[in-house]
A = this chain, B = another copy of it.
Amino acid sequence: MTTGGGEFDLIARHFAPLAGPQGLNLLDDAALLSPQPGYDLVFTADALIGGVHFRPHDPPDFIARKALRVNLSDLAAKGADPVGYLLTIAWPIGTTSQTIEQFVQGLAHDQAEFGIRLFGGDTTVGPGPLTISLTAIGQVPAGTMIRRSGARPGDLIFVSGTIGDGALGLDHPEITALNQRYLLPEPRLTLGQSLRGQATSSIDISDGLIADAAHIAKASGVCLELDLDRVPLSPEVRELISADPSVFARALTGGDDYEILFTAPAANRNLLAGRASEIGCVTPGQGVVLSRKGLKGDPAKFGLGDLGYRHRFGEGSA
């Protein structure tokens, strides 16, 4: 933590207790990590901006936990065990001490839940919305990180959990089960770690099922054929689709799922039963092909040509 002015007090009081020995209790310029021999390190960084990635009035502890969890979700998809994280925060002018306390309590809760510590970072007050940038560090036994690029024709396609709950929780905050999924994604760390050596490729679904399938297809140089009739849906999402069939498209492209989409050889089908839903197969070619109720074609044929967007509101283009 390199800091200035009134930040010193803030850090000492709130953030230093979150730091472990590697973070040198935030009393140094930098954190120190002696890597475990035989392990590779895995790094990922994502920023969350108020009004873009979360609702400005979401509870501060949930915002903090979401910032951590969306990054842990990337580690999960790579099969990594989380080790620690660095955090920079720009607080809006006028942020109260109570808000900061709640934010820190959220981090403390999830640090305990996921067995990680704060390594370092920076807090400042700025003129914009609350902006949180988080770098997560994980580790995998050397050579076992699951990439996006390993899918091969003949592999099966699997997805964990249920799809669409996060995006529909944003649309329907009155439906508690869905709103909870939007506020507090569940990084699939145990599943991800169990996929080392079993999955050929993997990604966490942040941009939407179809878009993230396209990312695997592109990185692997293959075609992902998804059977939309087999996409796992929660009872709440099924009910919304019954009332308005167009909601199905939103579920497939809305993002914010933080489930794991992965491919694995057909020989591993029995091993994976009960851990994820089988939703398709990998074929030669390029891109994504969808099938539903006997129809088959590219996403545009199903009105899904706009392949997902992660940020529901406030996002422009640069």
Residues of A at the B interface (CB closer than 8 Å) are: 2-7, 10, 24, 27-35, 37, 39-47, 49, 51-53, 70, 74-75, 77-78, 80, 86-91, 93-95, 97, 100, 119-129, 131, 133, 135, 137-138, 142, 145, 147-149, 203-204, 206-207, 211, 218-219, 255, 308-311, 314-318
Cα–Cα distance between A126 and B90 once the two chains are bound (Å): 13
Choose from B2, B10, B32, B124 the contact partner of A206 (Cβ within 8 Å): B2
Query: Can you report 5 A-B residue pairs in the complex whose CB atoms are below 8 A from each other?
Result: A29-B203, A35-B35, A53-B124, A95-B318, A123-B318
**Known pairs A86-B135, A311-B4; A42 contacts B30 (CB<8 A):** yes
Set of chain B residues within 8 Å of A27, measured between Cβ atoms: 148-149, 218-219
Choose from B120, B127, B219, B311 the contact partner of A124 (Cβ within 8 Å): B311
CB-based contact A43/B129 at 8 Å: no
Set of chain B residues within 8 Å of A45, measured between Cβ atoms: 86-88, 120-122, 133, 135
CB-based contact B124/A44 at 8 Å: no
CB-based contact A78/B316 at 8 Å: no
Set of chain B residues within 8 Å of A94, measured between Cβ atoms: 316
Cα–Cα distance between A262 and B286 once the two chains are bound (Å): 57
Besides A2-B74, A27-B148, A52-B124, 15 new A-B residue pairs in contact (Cβ under 8 A), listed by A number: A2-B46, A3-B310, A4-B211, A4-B309, A10-B318, A30-B75, A30-B77, A30-B138, A33-B42, A46-B122, A49-B124, A49-B128, A51-B127, A93-B316, A97-B318
CB-based contact A90/B47 at 8 Å: yes
The smallest beta-carbon distance between A38 and chain B, in angstroms, is 10
**Known pairs A86-B135, A135-B86, A206-B2; A49 contacts B318 (CB<8 A):** no
Ranked nearest first, the 5 interchain pairs of A and B with the lowest CB-CB distance are A128-B128, A4-B310, A133-B133, A47-B88, A6-B317
